[in-house]
């Protein structure tokens, strides 16, 4: 199946092509099992229907309710949320679900209300690069999420910039959302339609056996985007994507193999990317940049068997900051503000 058909198959799995028309308006009330929810505003839409901000009548509490027109897709997402319910959602940076109910034949899943997605946050000001210390916090939190999911044998299968959201504007705390494509790892087969371009892992493109390491690849793409301000691989055609994934420039390929590469198109060189990024900050630490690029290369390892695991990544120098011992580094206390701090020698 080609890329476009795969993306369509994913939309169809998520319910886009089976839409029951249910006109929801601001001010409408939804009868849940744990209360009545009044629709305040529309927060977003996707393949499934809408996400609305609601208040629970008789309280000040706000929620995000995902209204799913396709009850099969809604039920599948709910089943997956039940599977992860024993994982502490705050500790593991996973979205918290409160309840699920049916209203006018549509499935409504009540989630905690979050702030903005990584995509929206960086879209607002794509000209500025993200400080490495902020990237470290985000990376550590999401690696914890992957570790927790792996521990119960679940693969998210749809990690993108859209599906990672900040919990509030005043702190750096992210959560993984949208378990609509999540699957028990043991049920993953080459036939399963997962991931969207440009976050799709090479083994998914090539139709090879899959496991939860597809999520590590996608997280690598996310971190590269946040660092570089652009996708690390071209994604117009799967041919270009696969070609770029070897992570070396045509010159490097020629140097190591002696073979000339005839067609040249853009392949982002991670080491070159590092020089560009660090020059954008007054205070930068080369060792820290090198540590980040090393982690990234291990996440974007083409062979899933050699790809870094969440536990290994959490022990990587970039995350533990071993390589920064005794140096003064900024602490990120909110999405923009920084303070200086000395790490123990
Ligand atoms: N808990 C939440 N709090 C605030 N906004 C949310 C929340 N959950 C989702 N949204 C908004 O709704 C959008 C769509 O949600 P979600 O990703 O769960 O749906 P989806 O159909 O699976 O989307 P897509 O088809 O884009 O993958 C998000 O990108 C976000 O803007």
Nearest to 215 by CA among 231, 229, 230, 204: 204
Mean pLDDT over residues 37-47, rounded? Answer: 89
Looking at the fold, whether 83 and 159 belong to one and the same domain comes out as no
What CATH number does residue 92 fall under? 3.30.200.20
202 & 336 share domain: yes
Report how far ligand 1's centroid is from the alpha carbon of 23 (Å). Answer: 18
**How many angstroms separate the alpha carbon of residue 285 from the centre of ligand 1?**
36
Residue 327 CA to residue 323 CA, distance in Å, equals 9
Pocket probe for ligand 1: among 45, 117, 175, 177, the residue whose CB has the most ligand atoms within 8 Å is 177
Question: Catalytic positions, please?
Answer: 158
Query: In angstroms, rounded to a whole number, what is the distance separating the alpha carbons of residues 209 and 229?
Result: 31
Answer yes or no: is the C-beta of 116 below 6 A from any ligand 1 atom.
no
| pLDDT level of residue 199 (50, 70, 90 thresholds) | very high
Shared-domain flag, residues 282 and 195: yes
**Is residue 294 over pLDDT 90?**
yes
Residues 122 and 228 in one domain: yes
Name the more confident of 127 and 185. Answer: 185
- From 112, 143, 170, the end of a domain falls on 112
Give the residue among 307, 308, 300, 16 at the shortest CA–CA distance from 181: 16
Overall number of domains in the chain: 2
Residue 246 lies in a domain: no
Domain edge (last residue) among 112, 131, 165? 112
Residue 101 and residue 202 in one domain: no
- Under the banding of pLDDT at 50, 70 and 90, the label for residue 8 is low
| pLDDT exceeds 70 at position 64 | yes
pLDDT at 325: 80
Q: Is 247 inside any structural domain?
A: no
What mean pLDDT is reported for the chain?
A: 84
Confirm whether 30 is domain-assigned. Answer: yes
Check pocket membership of 46 for ligand 1, CB cut-off 6 A: yes
The alpha carbon torsion through 127, 133, 134, 135 (nearest 10 deg) reads 80
Is 66 part of any known ligand binding site? Answer: yes
Lowest-confidence region among 31-45, 137-151, 327-341: 327-341
Q: Is residue 5 part of a domain?
A: no
Edge-first strand order for the sheet with 49-56 is: 29-31, 36-45, 49-56, 62-68, 106-112, 97-103
Q: Is the pLDDT of residue 322 over 80?
A: yes
For residue 92, give the 3-state DSSP assignment: coil
Q: Name the residue of 94, 115, 178 to mutate for ligand 1: max ligand atoms within 8 A of Cβ.
A: 178
Residue nearest to atom 13 of ligand 1 (CA): 44
Residue 3 falls within a domain, yes or no?
no
Q: How many Å lie between the centroid of ligand 1 and the Cα of residue 213?
A: 23
Is residue 12 situated within a structural domain? no
Cα atoms found within 13 Å of the Cα of residue 48, Cβ hemisphere only:
26
**In this structure, what CATH number is given to the domain that contains residue 187?**
1.10.510.10
For residue 124, tell me if it sits in a domain.
Answer: yes
pLDDT band, very low/low/confident/very high, at 266 (cuts 50, 70, 90):
very low
Indicate whether 282 and 208 sit together in one domain: yes
Which pLDDT belongs to residue 247?
62
Domain that holds residue 85: 18-112
Residue 140 falls within a domain, yes or no? yes
Percent of the chain whose predicted confidence (pLDDT) is above 90: 51
- 163 and 302 belong to one structural domain: yes
For residues 57 and 177, membership in a common domain is answered with no
ipTM: 0.94
Helices and strands (H and E) in the chain: how many:
12, 12
Phi (first) and psi of residue 297, to 5 degrees: -65, -35
Return the residue matching tokens 């503000």: 337
Q: Return the pLDDT at 209.
A: 92
Please give the residue that has the higher pLDDT: either 239 or 81: 81
- Cβ(24)–Cβ(104) below 8 Å: no
Q: Name the band, by pLDDT with cuts 50, 70 and 90, for residue 260.
A: confident
Residue 341: pLDDT band with limits 50, 70, 90 = low
**Residues 57, 71: one domain?**
yes
Question: Do 220 and 149 lie in a common domain?
Answer: yes
Give the pLDDT of residue 241.
Answer: 77
Pocket flag, ligand 1, residue 43 (CB < 6 Å): yes
Write down which residue in 112, 133, 148 finishes a domain: 112
Could you identify the atom of ligand 1 that is nearest to the CA of residue 11?
25
pLDDT band at 46 (very low <50, low <70, confident <90, very high): confident
């Amino acid at each position: 199946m080609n890329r476009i058909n795969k993306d369509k198959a994913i939309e169809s799995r998520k319910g886009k092509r089976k839409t029951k028309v249910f006109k929801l308006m601001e001010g409408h009330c939804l009868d849940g099992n744990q209360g009545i929810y009044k629709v305040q505003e529309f927060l977003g839409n996707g393949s499934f229907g809408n996400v609305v901000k609601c208040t629970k009548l008789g309280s000040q509490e706000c929620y995000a309710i995902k209204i799913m027109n396709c009850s099969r897709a809604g039920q599948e997402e709910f089943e997956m949320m039940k599977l992860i319910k024993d994982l502490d959602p705050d500790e593991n940076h996973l979205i918290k679900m409160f309840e699920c109910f049916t209203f006018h034949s549509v499935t409504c899943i009540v989630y905690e209300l979050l702030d903005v997605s990584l995509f929206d946050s960086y879209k607002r000001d794509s000209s500025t690069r993200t400080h490495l210390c902020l990237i470290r916090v985000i990376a550590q939190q999401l690696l914890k999420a992957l570790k927790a999911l792996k521990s119960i044998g679940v693969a998210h299968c749809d990690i993108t910039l859209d599906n990672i959201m900040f919990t509030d504007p005043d702190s750096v705390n992210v959560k993984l959302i949208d378990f609509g494509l999540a699957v028990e790892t043991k049920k993953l087969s080459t036939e399963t339609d997962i991931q969207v371009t440009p976050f799709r892992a090479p083994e998914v493109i090539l139709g090879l056996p899959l496991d939860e390491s597809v999520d590590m690849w996608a997280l690598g793409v996310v971190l590269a985007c946040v660092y570089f301000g652009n996708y690390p691989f071209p994604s117009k055609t799967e041919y270009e994507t696969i070609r770029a994934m070897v992570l070396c420039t045509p010159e490097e390929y020629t140097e190591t193999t002696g073979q000339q590469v005839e067609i040249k198109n853009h392949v982002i060189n991670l080491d070159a990317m590092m020089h560009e990024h660090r020059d954008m900050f007054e205070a930068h630490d080369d060792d820290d940049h090198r540590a980040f690029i090393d982690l990234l290369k291990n996440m974007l390892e083409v062979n899933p068997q050699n790809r870094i695991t969440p536990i290994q990544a959490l022990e990587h120098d970039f995350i533990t900051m071993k390589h920064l011992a005794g140096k003064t580094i900024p602490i990120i206390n909110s999405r923009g503000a920084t303070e200086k701090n000395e790490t123990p020698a």
